[in-house]
Structure formats: structure tokens, C-alpha cells
Amino acid sequence: MERALESAREAAAAGEIPVGAVVLGSDGEVLATGRNRRLTSTDPTGHAEVIAIRGAAEAIGDRFLTDCTLVVTLEPCVMCAGVILAARVPRVVFGAWDDKAGAVGSVYDLLRDGRLPHPVPEVVAGVRAAESAELLEAFFSERR
């Protein structure tokens, strides 16, 4: 989670919403990192999770990340949850809950929705949640 928080801080420094993500291989090695880039790239899919998953898929040469763990500072949204399922990520660890757009237990729970034809990933929520939430709160308070 420390590496994901570092990416979130980098996002904030670049004027982006401070969300960071990292994909770890089965041995714990960092395969890829991502940070929000929606504003600077004008890409609506430029979420930290999507960027990290794309990088990890490229690093291992496979679209399925079946031995990986995604660590992200904020609960993934609906789009990111879909990418997580499509990539077959078996473990997701996140920091702060997103009570406005979260799709991993707060507003929606797409990852554990048994109606979808994908394996159900393990979810670990609230890891360093206070630090993750503080980054977001500081970012938005500066803009108000």
C-alpha cells in the first residue's frame, strides 16, 4: 500500500485526484503502478487501477492477471471493477471507501456479484484507509 500511496501523492502533485494503484506478482514483486491521469491525459479511462492493470498485463504478456494482487488507495468504481473482473485479478486490496461511486462493497458490489460469469476475487478493504482518505480530503478542500 505504501507504493500505491506514493503514486497517489504523485497524482496530487500533478493536479490529479490522488488515487494510486500497484499490481503485485505472485512473489510480491511490483509489476506495474498507476495513478490517476484523467485530467492531464484527457482520457476518461485514466484511472489508477486501469493504468496499473494495463501495465501489468503488458509486463507479463497476458491479459489475465490470475496470480496477481491489485492494491489501490480508493475503492474501485464500476468501470475499474469491470476491468478487474475482465483481467481475472484474484485479490484486491484497497484503502478508503468511496461512498459515492464505490463498486466493491459500498454503493455496489460488482466484484462479489455471483451473477457475473467471472471468478470472485478476494477483497481486503480499509488498508491504511485513513491515509488514503486524508489525501483525497486535502485535495478536494484545496479546490473548494
Active site residues: 49
Residue 68 is assigned to a ligand binding site: no
CB 33 within 8 A of CB 59: no
Residue 80 is assigned to a ligand binding site: yes
CA distances from 50 to 47, 112, 114, 134, 140 (A): 5, 19, 22, 22, 22
DSSP secondary structure string for all residues of 34-82: EE--HHHHT-TT--HHHHHHHHHHHHHT-S--TT-EEEEEE---HHHHH
CB 60 within 8 A of CB 31: yes
Residue 118 is assigned to a ligand binding site: no
What is the signed CA dihedral for 119, 121, 36, 128, rounded to 10 degrees?
180
From the annotation, which residues make up the binding site for Zn(2+)? 47, 77, 80
From the annotation, which residues make up the binding site? 47, 77, 80
